[in-house]
Amino acid sequence: MSEHWLIAGANRGIGLELVRQLIARGDRVTASVRNDEARAALAAKLAPQHAEVETLVFDSRDFEAVSKAARSAGAGFDVVFANAGAFGPSPQTVLNMDFGAALDLFSINTLGPLRVAEAFLPRLKGAANPRIALMSSELGSMANKNPGAAIYSATKAALNKLAQCLAEELSPQGVTVVALHPGWVKTDMGGPNAPLGVTESAAGLLATIDGLSLNDSGGFLNYRGETVPW
């Protein structure tokens, strides 16, 4: 049975591939991009299927813009996938910290997904199996030590904690919430040496989200549906 998905952050990389695969399998898709230039670029990349995709424009750092977009969406959703994110400055060790850039990255990677989840939560009402997926990373695991990506890792660790808390709050409403690790993927962020292609990562993420139930809520899973250590 087809479902209606929101893919927030859809103009490139994993987000773009998620949209393509969802269209191909017959699901309804609403995609968000940050500005009108990105909207035009997305339409070009999806042509001729772009007419099948509703596009919303908002920057996840702007809660008013996110909320306005949520109210304007054409129908309710079954899945809200907050995919948008950034890696941040380089270098970014704790001894060479750009504090302004770090604060902005927390707004994008940690609070941005929460803004999307809060704004679109009312649009999940009525779904048979409402799910919220927040794109995290294994770098956010306390078991993973990578001082060269200190800010990025910290933003994802904080996002994982918010995912846990959101899951606890929404469980009584029947909404499943998970944090997801897509794997190390060949994208602009992952770089050319990554071992995983976007096609495999996106397919795994979709299969994992398809199989979610309330029993999984509050989990930290990878694209194969396996638990990632906190």
pTM of the predicted structure, to 2 decimals: 0.95
Tell me which residues of the chain have a pLDDT lower than 70.
Answer: none
88, 153 contact by CB (below 8 A): no
pLDDT score, position 193: 82
Supply the pLDDT for residue 92: 85
Tell me which CATH homologous superfamily contains domain 4-222.
NAD(P)-binding Rossmann-like Domain (3.40.50.720)
DSSP, collapsed to helix, strand or coil, labels residue 143 as coil
Per-residue pLDDT at 191: 83
Please, where are the H alpha helices in the chain?
Answer: 13-24, 36-46, 63-72, 99-106, 112-120, 150-170, 198-210
The answer to whether 65 touches 119, Cβ cutoff 8 Å, is no
Nearest to 70 by CA among 117, 23, 105: 117
Alpha helices (H) along 127-197: 150-170
State the Cα–Cα distance between residues 150 and 66, nearest whole angstrom.
28
CA angle at residue 50 from 19 to 38, to 5 degrees?
75
Which run of H or E residues covers position 95? none
181 within 8 A of 223, measured Cβ to Cβ:
yes
- Interhelix angle 99-106/150-170, rounded to 10 degrees, is 30
Count of C-beta atoms within a 10 Å radius of residue 74: 9
Q: What is the residue extent of each domain of the chain?
A: 4-222
- Interatomic CA distance for residues 14 and 11, integer angstroms: 9
Tell me the C-alpha distance between 85 and 152, whole Å: 10
For 191, other C-beta atoms within 10 Å of its C-beta total: 11
